[in-house]
Chains A and B, each alone.
Chain A
Amino acid sequence: MTDNQQVPFGSGMFQGQAKFVDYAHMNQQEVQVNTLDEPVTDTLLRDINMILYKLSYVIIPRMKETQGRKLRNWDLWGPLLLSLLLAMTLGINSNQSSDTIFGTIFIIMWGGSAVITVNAKLLGGQVSFFQSVCVLGYCVFPINIAAVLITFFQSYFGFFLRIIIVGVAFLWSTFSSLSFMSSMMNEEKKVISVYPIFLFYMFLSWFCIFI
Chain B
Amino acid sequence: MEIGVQKQTQEEKQVQPEQFNKLDDSGDKKSTGYCGFLTVEYYTPYFNVTETDVIQRIQATFLPFRPDFLNITKDNPDLWGPIWINATLIFLITAIANLRQIDQEKENQQFDVGYVPQATALLYIIAFGTPAILAIVMKILGVDLSFFQTICLYGYSMSTLLPITILCYFQNELFLWLIIVYGVGNSILFLIFNLKEELDKLQIQKKYIIIGIVVIMQLSLYLFYKLVFFSYVSEGKVEAKVASSDSKIPGN
- Determine if chain A interacts with chain B: yes
Q: Does A29 contact B (CB under 8 A)?
A: no
Known A-B contacts: A101-B111, A192-B50, A206-B94. Give 12 more (CB < 8 A): A118-B40, A123-B47, A192-B49, A192-B80, A192-B84, A196-B84, A196-B87, A199-B84, A202-B91, A206-B95, A207-B113, A210-B102
Which residues of B105-120 have CB atoms within 8 Å of chain A's CB atoms? 108-114, 116-117
**What are 29 residue pairs bridging A and B, where the CB atoms are less than 8 Å apart in the complex?**
A94-B111, A94-B113, A95-B110, A95-B111, A96-B110, A96-B111, A100-B113, A100-B114, A101-B113, A104-B117, A119-B80, A119-B84, A121-B40, A122-B44, A124-B47, A189-B50, A191-B50, A192-B49, A192-B51, A192-B54, A192-B80, A196-B87, A199-B84, A199-B87, A199-B88, A206-B94, A206-B95, A207-B111, A211-B111
Q: Does A51 contact B (CB under 8 A)?
A: no
In the complex, what's the smallest C-beta–C-beta distance from B79 to chain A, in angstroms?
8
Q: Does A188 contact B (CB under 8 A)?
A: yes
* Tally of A interface residues using CB under 8 Å: 26
Residues of A at under 8 Å CB distance from B? 94-96, 100-101, 104, 108, 118-119, 121-124, 188-189, 191-192, 195-196, 199, 202-203, 206-207, 210-211
User: In the complex, what distance in Å separates the CA atom of A174 from the CA atom of B153?
Assistant: 31
* Tally of B interface residues using CB under 8 Å: 28
User: In the complex, what distance in Å separates the CA atom of A119 from the CA atom of B108?
Assistant: 39
Which residues of chain B are within 8 angstroms of A207 by Cβ–Cβ distance? Answer: 111, 113
**Chain A facing B: main interface SS:** helix
